[in-house]
Amino acid sequence: MALNGTAAHASDHVAEGDVIEFNAPIARPHAAAPEAIDLVVVYEDEDIVVVDKPAGMVVHPAPGHYTGTLVNALLGLGGAWSAAGGEERPGIVHRLDKGTSGLIVAARNDIAHRKLAGQLADRSLSRTYLAIVRGVVKSQAGELEGAIGRHPKERKRMAVVASGRFARTRYEVVERKSAHTLVRCDLDTGRTHQIRVHLAALGFPIAGDAEYGGRRGVRRDPASPGPTPRGGSPPSNQTDEPARPMLHAWRLRLRHPRTGAEMSFEAPPPEDFNAYWSSLQ
């Protein structure tokens, strides 16, 4: 931006007759465009499509990510998609974070979308994740309950806060190593970043999760009361962190929106997940 031909500053005052120059932002179309992007399609019929989303792929267009999203890839498959989620999110019933890999279901029509959304609401659509966390979790299994809402100071992050919405995550230890634990997590609710927030608040952040665990040591949230229960050994300060959160949507269970048949899908963790776990002592 320029004021009267020179670079403008926030402290500048303007007066009648001043000339202000700026570049208008490029208008972005509301509707996403189809793109030829390879997808691992686990299941497909006239109502639903189940995809194994790769880590690094954004689910739907958003500022900074208008191409290369899962929505663009779904549109590239052709055929009709539900519009119940809005024109920028055709087919999208639920989401996965950009850095999370694994299973996600999309709806081909509005009836299927509404029925799947209803299953999310009544928790009959179940999602099971695998996560590698820093630290050795001593309890073999447990439930984490902590209301999740916007962080009071960092609005792009979520936190366990008293004013948040009820959230519950069930976990079970799959395997332990000297400074890390492989856990399986089931969502009883579907809050934004729920597993990442709950595990970090418990003291076992997901490996590679710079947003909630930091690259070096654990970043505790002083505004967070933490989920209950607490326990286990303190997390590792290992600094050799993976490039993305080690979180994978491993299993998806649902009722088919047309037939009512119970369906279950599983997708093995990707190579980077397995390689990181294998590299740990």
For 259-276, b/e burial (b = at least 16 CB within 10 A) is: eeeeeebebebeebbeeb
Cα-Cα-Cα-Cα dihedral sign, residues 157, 101, 37, 255? negative
Element at 4 (helix H, strand E): none
Which entry of 97, 209, 221, 272 is annotated as an active-site residue?
Answer: 97
Q: In this structure, what DSSP letter does residue 121 have?
A: H
Confirm whether 47 is a catalytic residue: no
Q: Which residue type is seen at 212? A: Y
- For every residue of 152-170, DSSP letters joined together read SS-TTSEEE-TTSB--EEE
Cα-Cα-Cα-Cα dihedral sign, residues 265, 271, 275, 276? negative
* Contact (CB, 8 A) for 82 and 71: no
Tokens of 276: 């990181």
Q: Please count the helices (runs of H) and the strands (runs of E) in the chain.
A: 4, 14
The catalytic site residues sit at 97
